[in-house]
Chains A and B, each alone.
Chain A
Amino acid sequence: MKNYRLYDEIGRVDTAFVEEVLEYTEKSKRRHIMSKTVILKAAAIAACAAVVIGAGAAALMRRELPVKKEDPVQTVEAETEDSTVVVERSYNERIADGEEVKIETHIGERIEHQGFAFTLKNITVSPTFPEGITKADISYTPTVAAYTDGGTDGMSYSEKFYSYREYAKEHGLPPIEEDEAYGDPEKGEGAYTERDLFVSDVIDDNGMYNGPMDVPDEAYKWVFLELEIENLTDEDKLEYFGDMQVCYGDYITEPAYELYDKDGNAIVNIPEYSQYSIYSLVCYMSEHTDEKITDDRTDTFLNVSFTPSEKKSIILGFCISDHFIYGDLVLQLHNSEPIFYQSDYVYLPLK
């Protein structure tokens, strides 16, 4: 008989954890319902808006929002001169994680929100890496992982693996070497690597490809948001990416996105079933003196934090690639309507 002692022990955890699960689940369900309402509203607004910045800046500043912990999920709207700020907020701890906040604004518009103000000065797109940032800063190192879910959806690992191989071959995508993905199970070697996990996850039940591990340099593109933030002090720590987690296989199946520049010219066309997503993201300041990039692969894919320290202008740089989404923060590009998947995603209709 197998020893399920550990599983048994989990059943004896403090009931506070069980209570947390029940409450958290209930809140999530409520929030999900609320999100749909807000998303519809935001989508309607954004359809005619010049620029939508999702997320981030407000929550990033780590300022407490005046929401009581007991408060239910709320939607707050505040009219500004030429746009609407839509902020969905729920509980303090969620907002403190940089989640559940969406802000819409236009280039040149000054936004005041929760005790600070910023102006989106410009948005640019670059196909090259920013100075001081290399691919190594954003590359993911596959590690050995014992993980199987083969068979749960009717496909074995090998089936998925070969589905990917075939698909990659057909579409000219980077191959995965067989001996890299497989050790020798007979010898007790790691039969599965994390790459397998990825491969497993990127192949859906229909065998649809969802992204290779390796992205050629030319596939990277960068979107820079130049924000002018007022009254930053040494105590303001911009720490956006603290909770980034690798989202294996998250993908967008909506067809044909386009990225527009500020004049409305299409910069990038994204073919159907491809994904135009953040591979990783790097945040740095326009003046680099306080830049600090840390890469914590033990928990998150890439943590970036720095202290603005009296700087008033910052640039948020997002590295995106055709085939990846990594991280909770996702820059989603589109042509007509913004697409909101999760409230902690960022969406930019750059038009």
Chain B
Amino acid sequence: MEDEKIVGLYLARDELALSATQEKYGALLLSVARRFLGQCDVEECLNDAYLAIWGSIPPERPKSLAAYCCGVIRNLSFKRLEYNLAEKRSPKSALPLDELEASLSGGEDFREYENIDFSIAVNGFLQSLKPEMRVVFMKRYYFADTVPEISADLGLSESKVKSMLLRARKKYLSFLKGESK
């Protein structure tokens, strides 16, 4: 079923929307959730995501249902992971969290960037990147893909992906410093 029709079902409050979403994007959403949570809490998170999507459309009318659903599941999974990490329920993080945060702030937290509106800054930063680097950056830090996975997906060598990520992180730091002035 086309996205437009599925969104139409949501807008009409037809529960077929959920099964259609599950059928079309269930595997994708599951894979995103697994990036963050492994096997732990995935099903629960997935159900929460469907509920959140059901509850948010309407009023939302996403242009890309896939991207919208990815956003929902990604953020729910991340919140769950953060919760697990905070309570030490998870022995280790499989995510590049430390990699990103540490490289941006030298290991400190982000207090020095307190005055930044991150929602604007992040979008601005992404907009400033070339498409390929933006996609690599997003795959790593939004979808939590591993370097080998990015390499395989985009047909780039692993070393090139690493190099691009390094450069992207440097740019990110530079961008944030510029924004914080």
Contacts and interface: CB of A to CB of B under 8 A. Distances in A.
Interface string B102-138: 1110100110000000110111001000111011001
Given A16-B67, A21-B143, A201 B122 contact: no
Contacts, number: 147
Contacts of A18: 64, 67, 70-71, 138, 142
A96 B16 CA distance: 44
B101 A11 contact: no
B13 interface: no
Given A9-B119, A12-B119, A25-B139, A19 B64 contact: yes
Nearest to A15: B67
A41 B143 CA distance: 35
A1 interface: yes
Contacts of B101: 2-4, 6-7
A78 B32 CA distance: 44
A21 B122 contact: no
Interface in A288-346: 299, 341-342
B155 A17 contact: no
Interface residues of A, number: 47
Contact of B118 (A6, A22, A148): A6
A31 interface: yes
Nearest to B139: A21
Contact of A15 (B68, B103, B167): B68
Contacts of A14: 123, 126
A91 to B, nearest CB: 10
B11 interface: no
Residue among A13, A28, A197, A247 with the highest chain B CB neighbour number at 10 A = A13
Residue among B122, B134, B155, B159 with the highest chain A CB neighbour number at 10 A = B159
A86 to B, nearest CB: 18
Interface stretch (B37-45, B46-54, B74-82): B74-82
Contacts of B85: 1-2
A20 to B, nearest CB: 7
A242 B129 CA distance: 14
B24 interface: no
Contacts of A247: 157, 159-160, 163
Nearest to B107: A146
B143 A5 contact: no
A261 to B, nearest CB: 30
Nearest to B102: A146
Nearest to A9: B118
- Can you list the 8 inter-chain pairs with the closest CB atoms, starting with the nearest? A249-B159, A18-B67, A19-B67, A9-B118, A19-B64, A15-B67, A3-B109, A11-B75
Given A8-B82, A15-B64, A21-B135, 6 more contacts: A6-B118, A17-B123, A18-B71, A21-B143, A28-B154, A145-B166
5 contacts: A15-B64, A19-B63, A145-B170, A147-B166, A201-B159
